[in-house]
Structure 1
């Protein structure tokens, strides 16, 4: 591979914003890709994937390069040189790469790869926390899997098309996909490509949604004609899936504390042809209280640490703090206590997170069931999804029934 100056400069600029200014990697990369209209798909892929790669392995590369935060531009070039050297890329004769110790880089990599916190490039506290909750063996496998690049999975919108028709339409555009066993509405891209530019996306034939995430709506056991509440809907990925499973019949009430996310859901719902969704921002407790004992199904896709989705959000490793996990667990339990009251007698509730930590998952469910609010609920089943077992995001979901 030959390195091109303008592409490398873009990567360095992006890393400056992500590491030194705390900006989110996905937003930074979106902006970087708009820099030069002359860039082809390979150029854009280089900028995006190299930036994500260096973000993912920041601790390991910085340790090898012997630099510490905050990184000045010279330090970032040293980190870039580590990235390139470890990939066998010949460094060009640029001043930024003068005196790069290629042999030493490879030796340091071999040495540090024996220590998990460096090998997997994670903060000390996170390495300790993960091992404490999951055990040494499972944590080692899981964090390794979560450091792999996420695959692109589509969820077919069955309100508008079928899996077979969509696969054929994408094939005509030279976009090859394959079916995933046990995931009824999923197509996996064989190669990464920008599917958002296709007419199939613009016409609402699919959404990009990880296979593990697609499990959640199916776990809710919805049927056409029901009244369903998606209590933490966000921009509505699971809401739209629920709408397709309900065949646009019945009512879905999408709640969230952020009105701007619900506005995005409205736009997506229009594109998807999902007409049975009503959005309600949670501006006070009255919004929840009005729905007490009214819902056949309630989905609580709770805010969480997001440790199960590090594949697609590698910068979360560097933004996450132990205090946040402690606080979010209080929020999760409070949401369970209050929002569960929306389930009517005989109705069902799914509590879900994109975390792999038992303290955010089954322990929260056990705590709820042992509480006054949870005494009328019966545990039916749960499903723990670990990335090293599936290759997809880490998730948890539990199905509870409110007894008559």
Structure 2
């Protein structure tokens, strides 16, 4: 168990002090470890949980630590953070066991003095579990402490979606995501894949909205699953699965995906076109195109052409060429916090403002590549209305040759319909997402 706790602390150090992505650091650490599957699952839970609840945990720790965090040994700080997470949010690990593990870890990787410090802080916390750590009645601070979000982000969501939606949004972003897969109908029917997954011992259920979605509630790692290796499905959040069907893909079309890596939506276009026509997959990073090519090969797709292109720079040779265009723009990612909880801590209000200009450029260029009568689908995985509805408002006001077409997924509790697009609020099944369908009139 000591090795498992050391992996936790190492990953937290990478995320909190080196600005690493949690999923990349965690996957690398687990791959290089010799941990059993059960220990890997525990490490994953503690890592994501500690990152998710960092704001609340730090407020608690400051009640028992008199020195500034910047003066603490990084290993010791993250031992304390991960220990408080386990004591406060996990039921199955006894408090005394958490303390003992933390003390031994500090002793082995720091010093005897540090281990005594860890012991004192954690035992003091256990004696005061029911204390009022916040000592404030400020509405924003109370919500921020409860859900562990920076107050500016809580205030941001309230201003954009109203106080009546704040609990739904923040609890959705804090939920633990299950793996969701999209069935590749080029390889077999939905029922065939569903039944085979059950035969392999997976606890699964149908998706909430998308007819190709299967949610995996429990089961072994997907990457070694024989159905995955044969290309029967792709791992993708259900919110993201909903974009491509809105594009009205038909056989033998010329389709462009301007920001395509890692290729989940690109391959979906190919599947819905029955592997006909041509799907042009562009990305600014050449190394990321390999991911698309590898996915396409696994899925049995042959109609994708990958190339490097900066979507924010206009390319005259594509003018008026495309029947359909997908513009899944780079965004602030506020809708996928449950998968990348470090977004809570590495984004600022200024970061959100800076992206809109880039997104507008990409949308402007895409509009010129589209044929008359063609469809442009704009999407993001954020909940920032400036990157979503307001970008569409600005575009439509200066492009009277485009009209917004309706998207309707039914009367679903977490789907909000607006004249400028559709917002999917995050919940335990789906990420936060936005999409808008635009038709070129002339």
Give TM-score scaled by structure 2 length: 0.85
- 3-state SS of paired residue (2:149): coil
CA distance in 2, matches of 1:138, 1:387: 11
The answer (yes or no) to whether the contact 1:225–1:250 under 8 Å persists in 2 is yes
CA distance in 1, matches of 2:363, 2:302: 28
Match of 1:98 among 98, 119, 131: 119
1:105 deviates by 3.4
In structure 2, what is the equivalent of residue 295 of structure 1? 322
1:107 deviates by 2.4
In structure 2, what is the equivalent of residue 11 of structure 1? 8
The answer (yes or no) to whether the contact 1:293–1:343 under 8 Å persists in 2 is yes
The answer (yes or no) to whether the contact 1:64–1:105 under 8 Å persists in 2 is no
Match of 1:79 among 78, 81, 84: 81
Deviates further, 253-262 or 171-180: 171-180
In structure 2, what is the equivalent of residue 59 of structure 1? 55
Match of 1:378 among 395, 403, 410: 403
The answer (yes or no) to whether the contact 2:259–2:311 under 8 Å persists in 1 is no
In structure 2, what is the equivalent of residue 46 of structure 1? 42
CA distance in 2, matches of 1:271, 1:287: 32
The answer (yes or no) to whether the contact 2:134–2:145 under 8 Å persists in 1 is no
Structure 2 gaps of 5+ residues are 104-114, 407-420
Match of 1:29 among 26, 29, 44: 26
CA distance in 2, matches of 1:180, 1:284: 32
1:237 deviates by 0.7
- Spell out the pairing of 1:1-400 with structure 2 (5 A cutoff): 4-37=1-34, 39-66=35-62, 69-70=69-70, 72-86=74-88, 87-88=90-91, 89-90=93-94, 91-92=96-97, 93=100, 95=103, 96=115, 97-99=118-120, 100-101=123-124, 102-108=126-132, 115-191=142-218, 193-282=220-309, 288-371=315-398, 374-381=399-406, 382-388=421-427, 391-400=429-438
Q: Deviations over 1:199-239 (max 9, x none)?
A: 11111111110111100111111111111111111211100
The answer (yes or no) to whether the contact 1:64–1:108 under 8 Å persists in 2 is no
The answer (yes or no) to whether the contact 1:65–1:105 under 8 Å persists in 2 is no
- 3-state SS of paired residue (1:115): helix
Q: Deviations over 1:131-179 (max 9, x none)?
A: 2222222233202210111121010111112221112222222112221
1:248 deviates by 0.3
Q: Deviations over 1:48-79 (max 9, x none)?
A: 11101101111111111116544622222222
Q: Deviations over 1:330-372 (max 9, x none)?
A: 111111111111110111111111111221111111100111x
1:283 deviates by 5.5
Deviates further, 226-235 or 104-113: 104-113
The answer (yes or no) to whether the contact 2:258–2:311 under 8 Å persists in 1 is no
Structure 1 gaps of 5+ residues are none
1:192 deviates by 5.2
The answer (yes or no) to whether the contact 2:201–2:219 under 8 Å persists in 1 is no
Give TM-score scaled by structure 1 length: 0.93
CA distance in 1, matches of 2:79, 2:171: 26
Deviates further, 234-243 or 171-180: 171-180
CA distance in 1, matches of 2:390, 2:364: 14
CA distance in 1, matches of 2:363, 2:311: 17
- 3-state SS of paired residue (2:390): helix
CA distance in 2, matches of 1:29, 1:334: 34
CA distance in 1, matches of 2:286, 2:32: 31
Deviates further, 358-367 or 68-77: 68-77
RMSD (Å), alpha carbons: 2.1
CA distance in 2, matches of 1:131, 1:74: 35
The answer (yes or no) to whether the contact 1:222–1:245 under 8 Å persists in 2 is yes
CA distance in 1, matches of 2:272, 2:241: 11
CA distance in 2, matches of 1:284, 1:185: 29
